[in-house]
Amino acid sequence: MKKYIMAFDSGTTSCRTLIFDSEFNIVSSAKKELKQIFPKPGWVEEDPNEIFSTQLGTAVEAMAKININAKDIVSIGITNQRETTIVWDKTTGEVLYNAIVWQCRRTSKYCDYLKANGHRDEIYQKTGLEIDAYFSATKIKWILDNVEGAKERAKNGELLFGTVETFLIWKLTKGVHVTDYSNASRTMLYNINTLEWDEELLNLMDIPRCMLPEVKNTAEVYGKTSREFFGEEIKISSAVGDQQAALFGQGCFKEAEAKNTYGTGAFLLINTGDKRVESKNGLVSTIAWGIDEKITYALEGSIFIAGSSIQWLRDDLKLIDSAEDSEYLANKVDDTEGCYVVPAFTGLGAPYWNQYARGIICGLTRSVKKAHLVRATLESMAYLSNDVLKAMEEDLGELKTLKVDGGASSNDFLMQFQADIINREVIRPENIESTVRGAAFLAALGVGMFKSIDEILKKFNGDKKFEPNMTNETRENKLKLWHKAVSRAFDWAED
């Protein structure tokens, strides 16, 4: 009988399920978009119950497409949007409040308070993270402070916290409350040096320890799904934050190997081995994965808006009918006519860390047409990625190539412009599904299908390379205007 690995990709704007055969070819997939909720400017929420039902629905659909059942599936791996915060009742499973999405800016003022009171260095030394509304800790605090009775219920041990993978596992297993090292490291509550939830940070933010999940290896069996979901139990044997999953799925197993994922946001990670590297240039240190209690660290630059800027062009501005149209239109013009788009819709992440930046369009003249604006939006992803790459190189030395993946990496125009603007070779794998592939590899590792990481490298095949083809003068002029545009976006939303 054929055996399969099922991988959940619980993302920011959609839930997907992909099913892999024993050779790690994708044999089935299903996807459904998630509704995002914007109660106030800069606030982003989702319905946790919709996340769960949508993810479960895509799993059932993907299985039905190839007519398999639970007995055919060896295990499930989960990769997820990180930092997104869910609090629910330990007994009933009822959620207290909508999921507060990683993009949400509602806790910016509290982050300012923490910085003003001298907590930046303490938090960075313990967690590797900058103080920012991006991370989970201040979102948990907001729910406890703003939902009636929540703080008391939490202290009484009645409430649980989890990021998306924790919530999914808890629901699927009927009560297993776990996370993995990669996701724990994104909460701003986990000490990545001692590998423990940090009591001082919990006390600082008045978050009860009893709310938090147990932290496990990125690849191990956490539990089994309840029979009610798939008819039979299925092991869940990996959970990994989406960007760490992509690093793993790209085969960046050695120090100094780097990748950039163009998803809802864009995230550039470099493997730093068993050593945590402290950035002097606005990057964060994070845990890439933990396998057999051995920790691998990474340095990361987070860009909050990337592929979602194309969604903005499609859904909100109605300038394109599909994401694929963006490449067609960008190629219809030779440049952007001096137009620059800074998509700081939810502030700017690395290396700027400006919570109050907002999106702007600069350099508009009557000669700017729809195609120029679309092209400028695509180019913004490459410019922001270049800013992160330069910060990374200042910390670690020159990178010769950049591996890429994620939905927007299928856009040849964007990848060529990326190579041009960083003046480095860009390598795109034949299979750009690196994130979900990483989750599948880890799930297989968690149930012993692989004996070591080295065995996984044999599953990688061809790729496409994009070589830089832009003069230094042109590149420097473009970057000069880009940085001028970015400076105009700073602090727009500050009182």
Binding residues for glycerol: 82-83, 134, 242-243
Residues annotated in a binding site for sn-glycerol 3-phosphate:
12, 82-83, 134, 242
CB 436 within 8 A of CB 18: yes
Residues annotated in a binding site:
12-14, 16, 82-83, 134, 242-243, 264, 307, 311, 407, 411
CB 238 within 8 A of CB 446: yes
CB 404 within 8 A of CB 418: yes
Q: In degrees, to the nearest 5, what angle opens at C-alpha 217 toward C-alphas 213 and 223? A: 65
Residue located via tokens 């539990």: 223
Residues annotated in a binding site for ADP:
12, 16, 264, 307, 407, 411
Residues annotated in a binding site for ATP:
12-14, 264, 307, 311, 407
Q: Extract the runs of DSSP E, i.e. beta strands, from 388-477.
A: 401-405, 425-429, 463-466
CB 461 within 8 A of CB 430: yes
41, exposed or middle or buried, with CB in 10 Å at 0-12, 13-18, 19+?
exposed
CB 426 within 8 A of CB 404: yes
Q: 3-state DSSP call for residue 317? A: coil
CB 266 within 8 A of CB 303: yes
User: What is the C-alpha separation between 447 and 338, in angstroms, rounded?
Assistant: 54
User: What is the C-alpha separation between 99 and 249, in angstroms, rounded?
Assistant: 27
Residue 7: which residues within 8 A CB-CB, separation 6 or more?
Answer: 17, 18, 19, 20, 76, 77, 78, 79, 436, 437, 439, 440, 443
Q: From the centroid of its chain, how far is CA 419?
A: 22
- Token duo for residue 15: 């839930």
Q: 3-state DSSP call for residue 36? A: coil
User: What is the C-alpha separation between 300 and 320, in angstroms, rounded?
Assistant: 32
Q: Closest Cα to residue 158, out of 242, 94, 65?
A: 94
Q: Closest Cα to residue 299, out of 397, 438, 382?
A: 397
Q: Got the DSSP string for 169-204? A: HHHHHTS--EEEHHHHTTSS-EETTTTEE-HHHHHH
Residue 54: which residues within 8 A CB-CB, separation 6 or more?
Answer: 15, 32, 34
- Token duo for residue 154: 């939490």
